[in-house]
Amino acid sequence: MQRFLSSSPEETEQIAERLAKTLSGNEVIAMFGGLGAGKTAFTRGLARGLGAGDCVSSPTFALVNEYEGRFPIYHFDMYRVATYDDLYTTGFFDYLGSGIMVIEWSENIEGLLPDEKMTVTIRPVSEEQREITIEGAQTI
Amino acid sequence: MRILAIDTSACPVSAALMEDGFLLGEFFLNTKTTHSQTLMPIVESLLRAAAVDIKDIDVFAVNTGPGSFTGVRIGTASVKGLSMPLDKPCASVSTLEAMAYGLPYDSGIACAVMDARCSQVYNALFRLNGHEPERLTDDRAVSIEDLADELAGYSERIYLAGDGAELCARAFDGRLTNVVLPPQNIRYQHAYGTACAAQRLIRENRLLSSDALMPLYLRLPQAERELKKKQSGGKPDQ
Ligand SMILES: Nc1ncnc2c1ncn2[C@@H]1O[C@H](COP(=O)(O)OP(=O)(O)O)[C@@H](O)[C@H]1O
Ligand SMILES: [Mg+2]
C-alpha cells in the first residue's frame, strides 16, 4: 500500500502520471472517493502518462469513454450503475483484459470487481488537500 | 439448403457453412481480437474458400445469447445485416444449445456453462443420444453451487462445455466424479453447433425475419443481491 498527500489538482495528476509508467496494458484500476474527490483529475494524469494527451472528460453520462494511448484506456463512471444489468449493458465484462480500465465510483460495483485489480482511494483532507492511497500497484 | 452460421457470443468467434446437413467448412478463432474486426473477414474467406456466393445462402443462423453483451450484439447485428438485403430468413439459436450439438457423445448429459461472473453461470442441461440433444432445462442463470446440487441427481456422465467449463470443473472437483472436461475442439461453442440447431428450427418452421432477430438476455437475480450486499457491507465512508 502506498500513500500520498496531494496539495493541488496538478499534484494529483502527477501522482497518476507516475502510476501510469508502471502499467503493462490490461490493468483494472478501481477508484474510490466521493463527488469532487479528484477521480477525474487522477484519470486525466493517468491518460497523459500513457501518452493519450489531454483527452479526459467525465463519462458520467456516456458511462464509458475510450482513449488511445500506449494502450487502449477505458474510462468508466459507475455513478449511475446500480444493478448487475446496468453493468452488463455497459459492456463492462467485455472490456476486461483488452486494455486499461479506470473505474470511477467503484463503490457501486464493488461486489463485481475482478479480484485482480489496483485500487486508488482519494480522501479529501481539506479544500485543496487529498490523501491518495494506492493498493496493488508497483512502487511508483 | 445452405446455412451460414456464426458465433460471437463469447471469446471465440466462428463461422460454419452447412449444405444439406453436410459441414462444408468452418472457421474458428480464439484470440483476444474484437469480433467486430474478425467476423467479416472470417465469413468472407470461408465463403470464398468454399466457392459459395453469399446469395446462395438460404438461412443465416446465429447464437443470439446467452453470452457477452457486446459479442451477442455483434453477432445478431451482423446476421441481420447479411440477411436483410437478400431477404433470407434467420435462425435464432441458444448458445447453450449450440454447444450441446457440438458434443459428439451418444449418452450422458451435456452441461453447457458460460461464465456470468460472481460465481454464476448461464446454463442449460441436455441429454445426449447421438442424434439431437434433448433439452432438460431452460436456458437460465444459476449459481455454480446450485448447479452442483442439481447435477448430483444425475448418475450418468456429465460433459461440460463453454467458457465456464474449467471454472465449474474446479468448483465440482472431488464432489462430482462423473463430470468430464472434453477436449478443446468440442469444449467451446462452434458455429457448427449453431448450424445443427438451425436445421431443427428449419424443420420445425421456427425461422425469423431479419427484423424479428433479437439478442436474448437472461437476468441474474442472484447477482443483483450480490452487488447490493457488498455495497451495504462495504466501506462506511460517504
Ligand atoms: N489536491 C487535489 N487533487 C484533485 N482535485 C483537487 C485537489 N484540490 C482541489 N481539487 C478540486 O477538486 C475537484 C475534483 O474534481 P474531479 O476530479 O472531477 O472529482 P471526481 O471525479 O472525484 O468527482 C476539482 O474541482 C479540483 O480542482
Ligand atoms: Mg468524476
Q: Which residue of B has its CA nearest to A115?
A: B118
Q: Which CATH number belongs to the domain containing residue A24 in this structure?
A: 3.40.50.300
Give me ligand 1 centre to Cα A91, in Å.
27
Task: Determine the Cα–Cα distance for residues A71 and A95; give it in Å rounded to an integer.
Answer: 13
Torsion, Cα B126 B197 B20 B27, to 10 degrees, reads -100
**Under 8 Å between Cβ of B8 and B37:** no
Distance, in Å, from the CA atom of A129 to the CA atom of B173, rounded to the nearest integer, reads 51
* The three three-digit cell numbers of residue B51, written as one number: 466457392
% of residues, chain B, pLDDT over 90: 84
Residue pairs between chains A and B whose CB atoms are closer than 8 Å: 55
Residue of A50, A47, A28 lying closest to A96 (CA atoms): A28
CATH for B141: 3.30.420.40
User: Would you say residue B86 lies in a domain?
Assistant: yes
Give yes or no: residues B195 and B168 share one domain.
Answer: no
Is this prediction's pTM over 0.90? no
Average pLDDT of span B186-206: 97
Strands (E), chain B: 2-7, 13-19, 22-29, 59-65, 90-94, 109-115, 120-127, 134-135, 140-143, 158-161, 179-180
Domain that holds residue B53: 2-96+189-231
Cell numbers that stand for B178 in this block:
462423473
Mean pLDDT, rounded, for B154-161: 97
| ipTM rounded to 2 decimals | 0.78
Q: What is the mean pLDDT of chain B?
A: 93
pLDDT tier for residue B117 given thresholds of 50, 70 and 90 = confident
CA A40 to centroid of ligand 2, rounded, Å = 4
pLDDT of residue B6: 98
In a domain, B156, yes or no: yes
CB contact under 8 A, A34 and B71: no
Nearest chain B alpha carbon to A35: B238
Is residue B194 included in any domain, yes or no? Answer: yes
Average pLDDT over residues B145-156: 97
Q: Would residue B14 count as lying in a domain? A: yes
> What average pLDDT does this structure show over B84-102?
98
Beta bridge partners of B3: B18, B59
Q: What would the grid cell of residue B110 be?
A: 451435456
Determine whether the interchain pair A34/B237 forms a contact, defined as Cβ–Cβ distance below 8 Å: yes
Distance A56 CA to ligand 1 centre (A): 14
Atom of ligand 1 nearest to the CA of A129: 1
**Ligand 1 pocket, residue A43 CB under 6 Å:** no
Number of domains in chain A: 1
Q: Can you give the residue range of the structural domain that contains A28?
A: 2-135
pLDDT tens profile A22-38? 999 999 999 999 999 99
Instruction: Please check the confidence at residue B163 and state whether its pLDDT lies above 90.
Output: yes
Among protein residues, the one whose CA lies closest to atom 27 of ligand 1: A9
Chain A residues touching B228 at Cβ < 8 A: 111
What is the DSSP track for B106-159? SSSEEEEEEE-STTEEEEEEEE--SSSPEE-S-SEEEEHHHHHHHHTT--S-EE
Are residue B145 and residue B216 in the same domain, yes or no? no
Pick from A121, A94, A112: which is nearest to B228 by CA? A112
Share of chain B above pLDDT 70, in %: 92
Among candidate residues B154, B134, B150, the one with its CA nearest the CA of residue B142: B150
Q: For residue B202, which phi and psi values (nearest 5 degrees)?
A: -65, -50
Residue B238 belongs to a domain:
no
Q: Give domain status of residue B236, yes or no.
A: no
Is residue B195 a part of any domain in this protein? Answer: yes
CB-based contact B117 A91, cutoff 8 Å: no
Band of the pLDDT at B5, cuts 50, 70, 90? very high
For residue B70, which of B112, B47, B39, B29 has the smallest C-alpha distance?
A: B39
